[in-house]
Amino acid sequence: MTTSSSERGVSLGMPELPAPAYPDDVRARLETDARAIIARYPDSRSALLPMLHLVQSEEGHVTRTGMRFCAEMLNLTTAEVTAVATFYTMYRRRPSGDYQVGVCTNTLCAVMGGDAIFEELQEHLGVGNGETTADGKVTLEHIECNAACDYAPVVMVNWEFFDNQTPESAKRMVDDLRAGRPVAPTRGAPLCTFKETARILAGFPDEREGAVEATGSAGPASLTGLKLAKGETAPARVVHPRGEAPRDTPPHEPSPAEHLSSHDAPQKTSASDPAHPSPTPARGGEAAPRPSDPSPTTARDGEAAPRPSGPSGPAAEEGE
């Protein structure tokens, strides 16, 4: 006799359906937003991802009620909606905090201090991976690469960047979040709550003053290859030894040839350097010329080339 996962006490992160309905006023508001989302797509089922963000913005996670709402609006089964909602980690399937604090523990961030930051925050907050503080303010998790390796180690709060973090700076940041003090990302838009972030991800405009104009660009290390390819000089990056104060003298600006990444610059080819064309390929039926023998001694006509001496001692004289 087989038993279900619930009977075995195993949670698959899937909701138990059917689910209770939204209150009438909430349902009416969500239907208006849902119709605006669905109108963007030629096929309504394509709207499922932003719809899941929409219902997540209502309660801070994707509830059974939210999944049923998506299924009804998109003419899908609850199984289809559940399959998508449980596939993507960006959809929370249980109550979470106002601020999702994600520490990158992928390779580069990890070796640059990400693992240490994550361990310190676990101890400091008293929570494990994916858990939320008792006050409902912070949910801590480790996350994968966020394409900001030149700012490693990186911590993200509601998908906004906090670059070049240390265990101490990360602890100060979460303390400020819990205390309600202003916290500003290193770059990008001002910080907002997770529910507000989910609504923006659903495709609705961020109406906060200055939020749209704020931006974050790639760091100097990310742009070095592009600058070298353009023949520009990449800016020097000064890394001072630990415990040593910054020097007053300006850094040496290396030329592209001096730069550590100069081998990444485009190399001249026969097409771009006519003065040094590539060798002419052999014509059909002819062997390509072999390179000259680097050995200074060559055999004379009619003579066999000398064999190299053995690795030790004179050759054996057997058979002579």
Could you please report the per-residue DSSP string of 226-250? Answer: HHHHTTPPPPP---PPTTPPPPSSP
- DSSP, collapsed to helix, strand or coil, labels residue 156 as strand
- Over 90: is that where the pLDDT of 246 sits? no
Across the range 115-122, mean pLDDT stands at: 96
- DSSP, collapsed to helix, strand or coil, labels residue 131 as strand
- Over 90: is that where the pLDDT of 132 sits? yes
Phi first, then psi, for residue 119 (nearest 5°) are: -65, -40
Between 13-27, 172-186, 210-224, the lowest mean confidence (pLDDT) is in 210-224
Question: What's the topology of domain 99-189?
Answer: Glutaredoxin (3.40.30)
Between 8-17, 42-51, 52-61, the lowest mean confidence (pLDDT) is in 8-17
Residue partners of 4: CB distance under 8 A and separation at least 6 = none
The pLDDT tens digits of the residues spanning 267-310 come to 555 555 667 666 665 565 555 555 555 555 555 555 555 565 55
pLDDT value of residue 187: 86
CATH number for 24-85 (one of 3.40.50, 1.10.10, 1.20.120, 3.40.190): it is 1.10.10
What is d(CA 51, CA 73) in angstroms, rounded to the nearest whole number?
9
- DSSP, collapsed to helix, strand or coil, labels residue 265 as coil
Local confidence band at 208 (pLDDT 50, 70, 90 cut-offs): confident
> Where in the chain is CATH 3.40.30.10?
99-189
> Where in the chain is CATH 1.10.10?
24-85
Considering the chain, what is the average pLDDT of its residues? Answer: 79
The pLDDT tens digits of the residues spanning 82-110 come to 999 999 989 999 999 999 999 999 999 99
Which residue type, as a one-letter code, is found at position 274? P
- Over 60: is that where the pLDDT of 314 sits? no
